[in-house]
Amino acid sequence: VLIVLSLFFLIVASIVGYFMSRKAMIPIVKSYTRQQEFVADASHELRTPLSVLYSSLEVIEAEEQDKISSFSRKVLFDMKDELKRMKKLVNDLLILARSDSEGLDLLNETFDVVSTAEKLIRSIQPLANSGQIQLHLAAPEKLIMYGDQERIRQLLFILLDNAIKYTPAGGEVTVSLHRVTKQKKKLLCLSVKDTGIGIPLEQQKRIFDRFFRGDKDRSRQTGGTGLGLSIAKSIAEAHQGSIEVSSTEGSGSTFTVWIPLGGRKDKEGDI
């Protein structure tokens, strides 16, 4: 009887414990979701006034050109620079908040990722030229995949922009796109390799964390927000892919992304 009674109490206690913990969890989960929604809404609402402020400054700069002193012109220039940073920060926060609350809303379209990369490299070439950095592309003629073209472009932009930012003049940045098979799955293997400053081993685990930035002064000089790589990771994961880094301090870094070519709906058979 004693054994049966204690078993009975144990079962009742476990059931009560289970429901109590669930009940306790619900408000926490709800408040977390509300917080994510709040960040998403706030970022969305902040975009318009920031754009209005930016264009107003441009109007003042253009119309009052001969009336304003060189000091005021410099102040205007700095204000525009800060507004640009704020707009980027707000956009980045919006992407991350959306990916937290409802997951990134991805399109599932068919596109040639090589031509996407070629176009992006053409548009980023002036930035590379100004930093005296050579850009290379190693890719087949075509590589068709399913996914969200704009998001993949954004992911590649983040990696390329970083590679250029963190590579001193005279360096090289190489983008590679290949089709690989891993555990019977066809994947896009995208990598961005630079000959830049590299990332200390102890920081490599943390660079995908939100707001993480390497050496403070170095990052401030480059004007980053510390959100780029966490967005790149969200985009790769939303495509059921992954991202990793290998780097040697002083000699360069390679960021590699694997994404299923068949997209989330796994249209591999068609590819």
Interface residue list for ligand ADP (CB under 6 A)? 162-163, 166, 194, 196-199, 207, 212-214, 219, 224-229, 253
Q: How far apart are CA 254 and CA 132, in angstroms?
A: 19
Give the nearer residue to ligand ADP in terms of CB position, either 78 or 209. Answer: 209
- How far is the CA of 262 from the CAs of 104, 118, 143, 177, 239, in angstroms? 18, 21, 12, 16, 10
Task: Name the residue nearer to ligand ADP (CB basis): 30 or 85.
Answer: 85
CB closer to ligand ADP, 92 vs 148: 92
53: closest CA among 84, 90, 95? 84
Q: How far is the CB of 99 from ligand ADP (least distance, A)?
A: 15
From the CB of 6, what's the least distance to ligand ADP, in Å? 55
Nearest distance from C-beta of residue 45 to ligand ADP, angstroms? 23
Residue (224 or 263) nearer to ligand ADP, CB: 224
Copy the structure tokens of residue 120. Answer: 């992006």
CB of 224 to ligand ADP, least distance (A): 2
Q: At closest approach, how far in Å is the CB of 172 from ligand ADP?
A: 12
Q: Is 226 left (phi over 0), alpha (psi -120 to 50) or beta?
A: left
Query: Which phi and psi (to 5°) does residue 16 adopt?
Result: -60, -45
Q: Which is nearer to ligand ADP, 196 or 260 (CB)?
A: 196
| DSSP H/E element including 22 | helix 2-63
